[in-house]
């Protein structure tokens, strides 16, 4: 019987998206690579595309409506405005990947910021202790939420909705019924307010590009060495060059003078917060894509039963996701407190959570679980920050801004649901 079965192979498989090892025609290999990418997009794997397209469109729109949008000062401003939300969104991505939600991340950041402020101001202790306490608080919050969801089986929606209310109350109590604590500590204020020297910016840029290039090229060479399917060299080089161009341009612009009165006070250099975001991005991306824990996060979000059968410690993975989320909320709280140079009961409140969830989803994380990257938080955070910044420049009221941001979040969730549908329709033949 095996004779006639031999001939029964499915001949209609799609062609490989990437070049075969040692492809003779480099141009053809690049074309094939681009084609493979487009095929992925069509089948619903849109990845970062909507967010990048959104950023470009929004920049053009606001730049034409308000030319000051393109000023160097506003560019630096954007980073400061978006940083806290991006931090919280980075953490939320981990919870979204396992198919859960954390509605309390905003007020968790507020509680952590309040604890930092009290330790700095009321207790008069040093900044490492204060920031450390904020991060430990975030971790404990995450452990508690995670344990309630995982060990007791309460839906994360309910647990974190309850926590949303409770943390609001805790922040009020810590801040003695609503006093505003001003932060005087220079180091804490420098987190969101400080800038690097010009040479520091260029040095970091060189290190970043060299590091990224080395990782990319060594990976490419390793795959050739093992005779595995690999990208054309041109694509690898183009990717490195694109990153180098983008970052160099940013550093160049941020190194220009952006003070309104340069004689009185000079304002130049890459904001410290950009470096912090860059480091967090690198660390969390590494954990998500290059470690066993990251792989297990995706597995738990994709098919929890399969993860259990494969011997993954599902409970531990899920609790860890909540710990990371609340921990990053604490980081976001510290950044927000630093930017405002004060903490009040509304720190982390208002629309912070909505913007953070929106950032993650706009960037490409899925509310259905199984999907999401740290890059999503960064790109989606940029979209959210640009919308708020641009509408502010145009002098639109807070009401309109809330409405538009809500509409954008809905749009992103719609794209998420639609791309899921497309994947289901086109995925299985």
Partner 1 sequence: MLLELTGVSKRFGPVEVLSEVDLSIDAGEVCALVGDNGAGKSTLVKCVAGIHAIDGGSIAVEGEVRDISGPRDAAALGIEIVYQDLALCDNLDIVENLFLGRERRRGIVLDDDSMEQLAAETLDSLAVRTIRNLRQNVASLSGGQRQTVAIAKAVLWNSRLVILDEPTAALGVAQTRQVLELIRRLADQGLAVLYISHNLNDVFAVADRIAALYLGRMAAVLDAADTTQSQVVELITSGRSGSLGLTDTNGART
Residue 128 burial (CB count, 10 A) = 9
Task: Note whether 376 binds partner 1 by CB under 8 A.
Answer: no
Rounded least distance, CB 13 to partner 1, Å = 5
Asked if residue 382 binds partner 1 (CB under 8 A), the reply is no
Residue where the block lists tokens 């307010």: 193
Q: What is the spatial distance between Cα 384 and Cα 356, in angstroms, rounded to a whole number? A: 9
Q: CB-wise, 47 or 345, nearer to partner 1? A: 47
Tokens, residue 245? 């161009």
Which region holds residue 395: left if phi is over 0, alpha if psi is between -120 and 50, else beta? left
* Residue 16 binding partner 1, by CB under 8 A: yes
Separation of alpha carbons 2 and 318, rounded Å: 46
Residues 398-427: x/- map of binding to partner 1 (CB under 8 A)? -------------------------xx--x
Spatial distance between the Cα atoms of 328 and 344, rounded to a whole number of angstroms: 19
Structure tokens belonging to residue 247:
């970052």
Report the alpha-carbon distance of residue 250 to residue 202 in Å, rounded: 11
Which H or E element spans position 343? strand 342-343
Are 183 and 120 within 8 A, CB to CB? yes
CB-nearer residue toward partner 1: 172 or 308: 308
Residue 182 β-bridge partners: 342
Report yes or no: 61 and 329 within 8 Å, Cβ to Cβ.
no
Q: Which stretch binds partner 1 (CB under 8 A): 57-65, 66-74, 83-91, 309-317?
A: 309-317
User: Is 38 a residue that touches partner 1 (CB under 8 A)?
Assistant: no
Nearer to partner 1, 306 or 407 (CB): 306
- Residues 367/361, Cβ–Cβ less than 8 Å: yes
Residues 204-233 that bind partner 1 (CB under 8 A): 222-223, 226, 228-229
Contact between 22 and partner 1 per CB under 8 A: no
Q: Does 50 bind partner 1 (CB under 8 A)?
A: no
Residue number with CB closer to partner 1 (5 or 27)? 5
Beta bridge mates, 271: 195
Q: Would you say 44 or 193 has its CB closer to partner 1? A: 44
Element (H, E) at 378: helix 374-393
13 makes contact with partner 1 (CB under 8 A): yes
Q: Pick the closer one to partner 1 by CB: 271 or 294.
A: 294
Tokens of 73: 């000062």
Number of residues in contact with partner 1, rule: CB under 8 A? 43
| Burial status of residue 149 (CB atoms within 10 A of its CB: 0-12, 13-18, 19 or more) | buried
Distances (CA, A) of 426 to 42, 147, 149, 376, 421: 9, 38, 34, 24, 9
Which residue among 309, 395, 397, 399 contacts partner 1 (CB under 8 A)?
309
Q: Which of 88, 163, 188, 312 binds partner 1 (CB under 8 A)?
A: 312
Min dist CB 85 to partner 1, Å, is: 26
Closest CB 325 distance from partner 1, rounded Å: 19
In this chain, which of 42, 176, 290, 316 binds partner 1, going by CB under 8 A?
A: 290
Per rule CB under 8 A, is residue 265 in the interface with partner 1? no
Residues within window 332-371 making contact with partner 1, judged by CB under 8 A: 370-371
Report the residue number, 290 or 316, with the smaller CB distance to partner 1.
Answer: 290
By beta-carbon proximity to partner 1, the closer residue of 24 and 311 is 311
Closest C-alpha among 393, 350, 333, 410 to residue 70: 393
What are the Cα distances from residue 105, in Å, to 41, 141, 284, 358?
32, 10, 17, 13
Going by C-alpha positions, the residue among 368, 388, 370 that lies closest to residue 380 is 388
Choosing from 189, 295, 401, 422, the residue that interacts with partner 1 (CB under 8 A) is 295
**Interface with partner 1 by CB under 8 A: which range of 67-75, 138-146, 178-186, 293-301?**
293-301
**Under a CB-based contact definition with an 8 Å cutoff, are residues 325 and 142 in contact?**
yes
Counting contacts by CB under 8 A, is residue 307 touching partner 1? yes
Tell whether residue 10 is a contact of partner 1 (CB under 8 A).
yes
Among positions 42, 176, 184, 292, the unique one binding partner 1 when judged by CB under 8 A: 292
CB of 282 to partner 1, least distance (A): 14
φ, ψ (nearest 5 deg) of residue 66: -135, 95
**Contact footprint for partner 1 (CB under 8 A):** 1-2, 5-6, 8-10, 13-14, 16-18, 43, 45, 222-223, 226, 228-229, 290-292, 295-296, 298-299, 301-303, 305-307, 309-312, 370-371, 423-424, 427-429
């Amino acid at each position: 019987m095996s004779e006639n079965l031999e001939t029964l192979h499915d001949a209609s498989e799609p062609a490989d998206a990437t070049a075969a090892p040692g492809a003779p025609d480099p141009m053809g290999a690049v074309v094939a690579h681009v084609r493979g990418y487009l095929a992925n997009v069509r089948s619903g794997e849109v990845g970062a595309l909507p967010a990048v397209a959104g950023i470009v469109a929004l920049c053009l729109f606001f730049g034409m409506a308000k030319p000051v949008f393109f000023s160097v000062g506003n560019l630096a401003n954007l980073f400061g405005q978006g940083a806290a939300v991006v931090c919280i969104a980075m953490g939320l991505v981990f919870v979204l990947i396992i198919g859960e939600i954390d509605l309390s991340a905003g007020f968790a950041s507020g509680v952590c910021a309040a604890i930092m402020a009290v330790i700095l101001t009321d207790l008069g202790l040093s900044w490492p202790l204060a920031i450390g306490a904020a991060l430990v608080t975030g971790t404990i919050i995450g452990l508690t939420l995670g344990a309630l969801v995982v060990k007791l089986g309460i839906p994360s929606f309910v647990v974190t909705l309850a926590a949303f209310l409770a943390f609001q109350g805790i922040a009020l109590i810590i801040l003695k019924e609503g006093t505003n604590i001003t932060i005087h500590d220079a180091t804490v204020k420098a987190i969101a307010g400080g800038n690097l020297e010009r040479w520091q910016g260029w040095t970091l840029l060189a290190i970043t590009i060299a590091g990224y290039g080395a990782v990319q090229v060594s990976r490419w060479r390793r795959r050739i060495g093992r005779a595995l399917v690999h990208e054309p060299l041109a694509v690898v080089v183009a990717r490195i060059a694109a990153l180098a161009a983008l970052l160099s341009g940013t550093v160049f612009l941020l190194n220009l003078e952006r003070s309104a009165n340069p004689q009185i006070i000079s304002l130049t250099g890459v904001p410290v917060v950009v470096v912090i975001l860059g480091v967090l991005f690198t660390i969390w991306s590494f954990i998500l894509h290059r470690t066993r824990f990251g792989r297990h996060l995706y597995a738990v979000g994709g098919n929890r039963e399969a993860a259990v059968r494969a011997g993954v410690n599902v409970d531990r993975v899920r609790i860890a996701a909540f710990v990371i989320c609340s921990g990053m909320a604490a980081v976001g709280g510290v950044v927000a407190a630093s930017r405002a140079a004060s903490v009040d009961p509304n720190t982390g409140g208002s629309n912070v959570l909505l913007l953070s969830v929106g950032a993650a989803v706009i960037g490409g994380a899925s509310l259905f679980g199984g999907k999401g990257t740290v890059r999503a938080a960064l790109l989606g955070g940029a979209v959210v920050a640009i919308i708020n910044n641009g509408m502010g420049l145009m002098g639109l009221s807070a009401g309109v801004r809330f409405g538009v941001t809500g509409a954008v979040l809905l749009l992103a969730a719609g794209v998420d649901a639609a791309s899921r549908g497309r994947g289901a329709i086109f995925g299985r033949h």
